[in-house]
Amino acid sequence: MTDGLAMPLLLALAGLLLSPAAEFLIARTLPRLGGLPSSGVRITTAAVTALLFALLGWRFGMGAELPAFLLLALLGVQLSRIDFMLHLLPNRLVLTLLSGGLALLALSSSLEPGWTELLRALAGGFILFAGYLILGLISPGSLGMGDVKLAAPLGMYLGYLGWQQVLFGGLLGFVVGGVLTLAMLRLRSAGKPAETAHGPAMVLAAFAVILALH
């Protein structure tokens, strides 16, 4: 095993282990969500988390910001899973992502140092939150308040990397959301339209930008 592959593989293993642990804690602390998901869902979320952990290891290496983005992967996958199944983004999980991410990014900035990146992260979180809030108030049927709240931590992470990431991450979320909506409509019968969760599209778009734009 080469040194270049060792860390991503170890991170993938960590993702496989941390995903079911996170689901167990969520089921214990948020019983209103209905307990643990099915085994098939748990396997899927663990696999996706492991893949993201490995890709983030490839993206950031041993950089000080890696733990913060691993937290985003761990909770982002869980939030996407919950929103897809229940059309709900629990405040406690969103707040955990926001506060935990901010603490880890602040630690990264103190080690590097990179206080400019941290200030930009705070601004990015506020800007994306404000943009989603305006759109949610204008068109409440297309965006829920959970989506608006989720925009804050996602904007913070994107802002830490750059203004370009904030712009593309925000716009791509709606593109991915549109594609997922069309796909779901094709899978459902035409006579039974249903609301499509926007949270998974936001998380997917954020990771696409994080991994693609350096």
The confidence score (pLDDT) of residue 191 equals 47
> By the 8 A CB rule, do 169 and 161 touch?
no
This prediction's pTM:
0.93
8 A C-beta contact, residue 155 and residue 170: yes
Contact at 8 Å (CB) between 71 and 14?
no
Q: Which two tokens stand for residue 10?
A: 């170890």
* Number of domains into which the chain is organized: 1
25 burial (CB, 10 Å; 0-12 / 13-18 / 19+) is exposed
Mean pLDDT by 10 residues, the chain (214 residues): 76 97 96 92 97 96 94 98 95 97 94 86 97 90 90 98 96 91 71 72 97 90
Interatomic CA distance for residues 103 and 105, integer angstroms: 6
CA proximity to 132, closest of 198, 196, 82: 198
Own/partner contacts of 109-116, CB < 8 Å, gap of 24 or more, are 111/64, 112/64
Residue in 125, 131, 132, 130 with CA at minimum distance from that of residue 101: 125
CB 51 within 8 A of CB 88: no
What gap in Å lies between CA 90 and CA 82, rounded to an integer?
8
Residue 1: predicted pLDDT: 47
The pLDDT of residue 189: 54
Q: Which residues constitute the domain of residue 130?
A: 3-212
